[in-house]
Amino acid sequence: MKNNNIAILGSTGSIGTQTLAIVRNHPELKVAALAAGSNIDLLEAQAREFHPKTVAIYDETRWKELCERLNGTGISVVCGMDGLNETAGGSGADIVVTAVVGMIGIEPTIKAIEAGKDIALANKETLVTAGHIIMPLARKKGVRILPVDSEHSAIFQSLNGEPKERIASILLTASGGPFRGKSKEELQKMTVEDALKHPNWSMGKKITVDSATMVNKGLEVMEAGWLFDVPLEKIQVLVHPQSIVHSAVEFVDGAVIAQMGVPDMKLPIQYALFYPDRRELFGQRLRLTQIRKLTFEEPDPETFRGFALALSAAKTGGSMPTIYNAANERAVRMFLEKRIGFMDIPASIEYCMNRHQATASPTFEEILSAEQEANRYLDEKWGK
Ligand code: NDP
Ligand code: MG
């Protein structure tokens, strides 16, 4: 197996901790590096348990304390963007699990690919904003981008190496989130507490809010476009409230191959780590007789405007998906801080998209300036 040594960017989060749960069950996996934002308590505990060579803390104000706490362990402690880049590109890892939240993941992902490391990609914001940089670079460097997002893992498993010419369409499933079936008027009143109650999945706060707005599904359409190199017209979103069919591929002969399972991120994470092997995974199993009914319906882009705006940003392409994503990241932060309402999230995205003049194929620097542009527009709209 090639990918024995792993680095995890975002080790203290939902995907990061589940990745470490898999490592715990597979002694052949070694942790080369861990990185987190500011949670030094959990990062310290993880460092003591898994003995990486390097840990990175993005928040530079926590660096000194973490150094003191890990003094004598022989673990090197780095910080800031340089630290994050070092864990991605410089550690002894063969595979980097990108589980940070947001487009902060772009630069370390590029560093990891440049250093020839495979990527187990959870951080969808990176592909949405910089897919045109990441995918060609990965091809050039001969590294694999292995999807961790459950739908994309399902598509990857369903494709199982078949060439894209045989794809008639990708059937990307969506749970519909906690607000499926609600009217626009009802959505206006939804609180942070309501939005954080996802019916099927337990995830970080940002992606949970994205699921409630259906922005997550919009981001996933763009992510699928980059990962599988298919045009938008071939990606069909189906709302499937049971979250059992994680996604499917319809081939040119009409065969539909789907991957099913209980909603548990450990399967897609483990599949990416051991690909192309499959290993035993303990936990709940799918019992179809207990499920009895699987239903599928069309999404409602009229009510879930955040989803419709994603399709429009994807169609425009270039720097527009960055504006879409950056506006959403900022708006979700403000919603979680209770500064704006739930429907102000899509309104913020639309406000920024209406102001932006898209440019084709933005460079990394241009992507960062598009992010700043979206933040400027939202400063104007809501105050700093
Ligand atoms: P969480 O919020 O649970 O975790 C985010 C992680 O990123 C934490 O470890 C956090 O550290 C770290 N982090 C945040 N900012 C920085 C930074 N600047 N530098 C270094 N580390 C940072 O998120 P999730 O695990 O839910 O999601 C991670 C990514 O995976 C997202 O892109 C999401 O869309 C995607 N994803 C998640 C799924 C899930 O089931 N959770 C499913 C599919 C995709 P700290 O704890 O210190 O703040
Ligand atoms: Mg998903």
Sorted by sequence, the CB contacts under 8 Å of residue 206 that are 6+ apart come out as: 101, 102, 329, 332, 336
Mean pLDDT over residues 240-254, rounded?
A: 97
Looking at residue 91, what is its pLDDT?
Answer: 83
Residue range 356-374, pLDDT digits in tens: 999 999 999 999 999 999 9
Ligand number, closest to the Cα atom of 174: 2
- Residue 78: helix, strand or coil by DSSP? strand
Mean pLDDT over residues 228-254, rounded?
A: 97
| Atom of ligand 1 at shortest range from CA of 202 | 40
Looking at residue 2, what is its pLDDT?
Answer: 67
Looking at residue 1, what is its pLDDT?
Answer: 53
Give the E-state strand segments of 45-174 in sequence order. Answer: 54-57, 76-79, 95-98, 118-121, 145-147, 167-174
Looking at residue 200, what is its pLDDT?
Answer: 86
CA-based nearest residue to 54, from 62, 43, 64, 65: 43
Give this prediction's pTM.
Answer: 0.98
Q: Ligand 1 in contact with 13 (CB < 6 A)?
A: yes
Residue range 165-175, pLDDT digits in tens: 999 999 999 99
Sorted by sequence, the CB contacts under 8 Å of residue 67 that are 6+ apart come out as: 77
**Of 199-203, 217-221, 234-238, minimum mean pLDDT range:** 199-203
Give the E-state strand segments of 16-151 in sequence order. Answer: 30-36, 54-57, 76-79, 95-98, 118-121, 145-147
- CATH placement of domain 5-123: 3.40.50.720
As given in the structure block, the two tokens for residue 154 are 């399902």
Q: Ligand 1 in contact with 101 (CB < 6 A)?
A: yes
Which residue is closest in CA terms to ligand 1's atom 39? 203
Pocket mutation for ligand 1, best pick of 55, 207, 211, 214 (most atoms within 8 Å of C-beta): 207
Residue range 58-79, pLDDT digits in tens: 999 999 999 999 999 999 999 9
Instruction: Please tell me the distance from the alpha carbon of residue 173 to that of residue 214, in angstroms, as a whole number.
Output: 12
Sorted by sequence, the CB contacts under 8 Å of residue 360 that are 6+ apart come out as: 317, 318
- CATH placement of domain 153-382: 1.10.1740.10
Q: Ligand 1 in contact with 215 (CB < 6 A)?
A: no
As given in the structure block, the two tokens for residue 308 are 């419709």
Outline which parts of the chain fall under CATH 1.10.1740.10.
153-382
Q: Ligand 1 in contact with 38 (CB < 6 A)?
A: yes
- 5 CA to centre of ligand 2 in angstroms: 25
Outline which parts of the chain fall under CATH 3.40.50.720.
5-123
Residue 336's identity, in one-letter code, is: L
Question: Average per-residue pLDDT in the chain?
Answer: 97
Looking at residue 199, what is its pLDDT?
Answer: 84
